[in-house]
Chain A
Amino acid sequence: MADSTQNYPRLADNEIPPEFLPWVATSQHAATEVTDPCYIDHRAVDDLYFYHPGFRGSLPQLFKHVAAVDPVTGEPWIVVDALSNNWDEKMAEVMWALKFKPSTDPNPILLAHGIHEAGTRDMHGWLVTGWKVATGRDTHGDKVHQDLIEWTKTVNGQPLEIVSIFSWRPYAPVSV
């Protein structure tokens, strides 16, 4: 099995590093869901749309980013939690293997660490090799976060690299 952050202890709201706060759900937030726009490079779309968030049916695909600590090193990370059951098994494994830190530039993005080495499985020959999360806008101009996934597949002996995207809305408070 691939590396997983599922056993990383979650941080309490008051322990979350301030630079994590724009990206994670606290105990006061509901899960978010995948929304448009979603995109897969034309060279991979027929292979990947089975697995990729946002391409199969209209049932909501739910998830949360939360702050957690590596139980071995004690280092804090942003990890993915609370996936609904309609994520593909292999894609869910990738989500559980993701460990993010915000970049330090003035417009920070989230960068996944170590995903290339996490031992996740291929999807129709494509392996996830990198993952970034940036803030963007959807087609209505509303603010969304967007996951940019980097994939590699060996085609005719040569590595082919492509990018795909899915979007999600910033976390909102739990509605009572």
Chain B
Amino acid sequence: MLTPQQRSALVDAMTGDSPSVRTIDVGYTYIGQFIAHDITEPAHPRNNHHPTAALDLDSLYGTAVPAAIDARGRFEIGRGEGDIPDLLRDASGQARIPDLRNDENVIVAQLHLFWQRFHNFLLDQSLAKNFDEARELTIKTFLLVVVEDYLQLLLAPKVFEQYFRRGQRHWLNLPSSPVPLLFSKAAFRFGHSMVRDFYELAGRVRDTAELFRADRPLTADFHVAWRQFFGWPDQATGVPDALAIDTLVTPTMVRIPFPPGQQTNIVEKNILASETLQHTGMQLVEQFLMQNPELASVFDLAPQTQLSPDLKKLKGVTLAELPLWPYILNEAAVEAGGERLGTFGSLICAEVLANSIEDAGLLSWPLQLADALTSLGALGTRIREVAAVHDRPLPAENSPAQNNAAQNNPAQNNRGRLFCMRHLIELLEPTSDTPRS
């Protein structure tokens, strides 16, 4: 537990200007927020929605709070300024969606809208026969994005390979439900360090604070053009980047205008949340190493020995005293230069999300991209066609012999990020960034 003076010094040291990272396109910050809202409980629920631990888009489809679905099984889409698609809203402006956290800022709100439109697209294009089929295909496609794109980009490669290619996914022996506090109170909050100072929306530069527009209809000047948020992997497409996963959080985030009428210091909030875990980051690493010494040999997991360059000026707080959230960020900065999570952060996020994906019960393990695409049926064919048009070919269906070979030699199945959000953007909005319902 930090003293108030130590906490204050740590908040100051972690508030600052971090560089952007060219390998992480700006949209991935908000994929992370969307995932978090699907499996973690809100601190202050504004309605009766309670997410399950399964990564099954209950934030989109609802559990106790149902989504607004029309007679054809399509999401009812609202209309914002200038008739642009928006979340359906009531007269007060409140979104009619299960998890109101997905209306906190205009980017995550439009990501929610993106998945609603994706579901509707499947029905409109006869890629799904009814609501249930469209729902299952949408969730499966989302899970493929989470694994093949988001996690492959942000996890340490050794961790990704063990959990998602070899299917060995219980190295920390974390429970699958409820979502462990290590994840929700600390590790998965790494995305806050990726938030930029500003975003370019509809040709205008917007300070991040301006994006918090909960309960307000979408206006054209906040419209997100997804091609400016997600590029193709390993290709200079001019897409702006997220900030480094490091021990600095943009100063905008220490005074975010949320909840409405209030200001939140996200750095202080996350440090306090991490302190509720009772153990520091280093103590947790030591505990897991005692429980499972193989973590050292398989992943090179060890307590960190070095503070990030930006924390070296921090007075009165040692590496051993860092709560888990700053410890995870420090690890990412020191081990990976801010380009991805470090080993311990990757292990926690991989294990919790692998459990949540398994709970959804829609993907088979270990994950084979080719087979998973094939299991999408006509949708998988359409995605492969889009990929070919953009010269980003996706793997063809494996024969059983190839599957066995890939399972025995995961390197065969580990050819980088082949499937990504950009495929879906090109599928949904093939000719322009002007969205259709």
Which A residues lie at the B interface, using CB under 8 A? 1, 4, 49-50, 55-59, 61, 84-90, 92-93, 121, 124
Contact = CB atoms under 8 A, between A and B. Distances in A.
Interface string B144-181: 00000000000000000000000000000000000000
Nearest to A55: B17
B19 A57 contact: yes
A121 B240 CA distance: 12
Contacts of B241: 88-89
A90 B200 CA distance: 13
Main SS of the interface on chain B? Answer: loop
Given A57-B244, A58-B309, A85 B21 contact: yes
A57 B22 contact: no
Nearest to A2: B238
Contacts of A49: 17
B417 to A, nearest CB: 15
A58 B310 contact: yes
Given A57-B246, A59-B246, 9 more contacts: A49-B17, A50-B20, A50-B197, A56-B18, A58-B312, A85-B22, A85-B339, A86-B337, A87-B20
A85 B17 contact: no
29 contacts: A1-B238, A4-B236, A50-B20, A50-B198, A56-B19, A56-B20, A57-B310, A57-B338, A58-B309, A59-B244, A59-B333, A61-B19, A84-B337, A85-B21, A85-B22, A85-B23, A86-B22, A86-B337, A87-B20, A87-B22, A88-B19, A88-B20, A89-B236, A90-B238, A92-B22, A92-B236, A93-B236, A93-B238, A124-B205
B309 A59 contact: yes
A121 B239 CA distance: 12
A56 B309 CA distance: 12
A168 B23 CA distance: 24
B16 interface: yes
Contacts of A4: 236
A19 B134 CA distance: 65
B127 interface: no
Contacts, number: 68
Contact of B16 (A50, A57, A86, A89): A57
B239 A89 contact: yes
B352 interface: no
Nearest to B22: A85
Top 5 nearest A-B pairs (CB, nearest first) are: A58-B309, A86-B19, A56-B19, A85-B22, A57-B18
A86 B338 contact: yes
B425 interface: no
Interface of B: 16-23, 197-198, 205, 236, 238-241, 244, 246, 248, 308-310, 312, 333, 337-339
Contacts of A93: 236, 238
A4 B239 CA distance: 16
A50 B252 CA distance: 13
B77 to A, nearest CB: 32
A50 B17 CA distance: 8
Contacts of A58: 308-310, 312
A117 to B, nearest CB: 18
Contacts of B18: 56-57
A49 B333 CA distance: 21
B383 to A, nearest CB: 26
Nearest to B241: A89
Contacts of B338: 57, 59, 86
B377 to A, nearest CB: 36
A55 B20 CA distance: 11
A25 to B, nearest CB: 20
Contacts of A87: 19-20, 22
B22 A56 contact: no
Contact of B248 (A55, A57, A89, A121): A57
A121 B22 contact: no
Nearest to B312: A58
A150 to B, nearest CB: 22
A113 to B, nearest CB: 22
A49 B250 CA distance: 13
A86 B236 CA distance: 14
Nearest to A123: B205
Nearest to B308: A58
A90 B228 CA distance: 13
B19 A89 contact: no
A56 B337 contact: no
B252 to A, nearest CB: 12
B20 A89 contact: yes
A93 B17 CA distance: 21
A128 to B, nearest CB: 15
A10 B366 CA distance: 42
Nearest to A84: B337
Contacts of B246: 57, 59
B239 to A, nearest CB: 7
Contacts of A86: 19-22, 244, 337-338
A11 to B, nearest CB: 23
A88 B243 CA distance: 9
Contacts of A88: 19-20, 241
A56 B238 contact: no
A92 B240 CA distance: 11
Contacts of A56: 17-20
Nearest to A4: B236
B375 to A, nearest CB: 34
B236 A1 contact: yes
Most A CB within 10 A of own CB, among B19, B197, B238, B333: B19
B238 A121 contact: yes
A87 B240 CA distance: 11
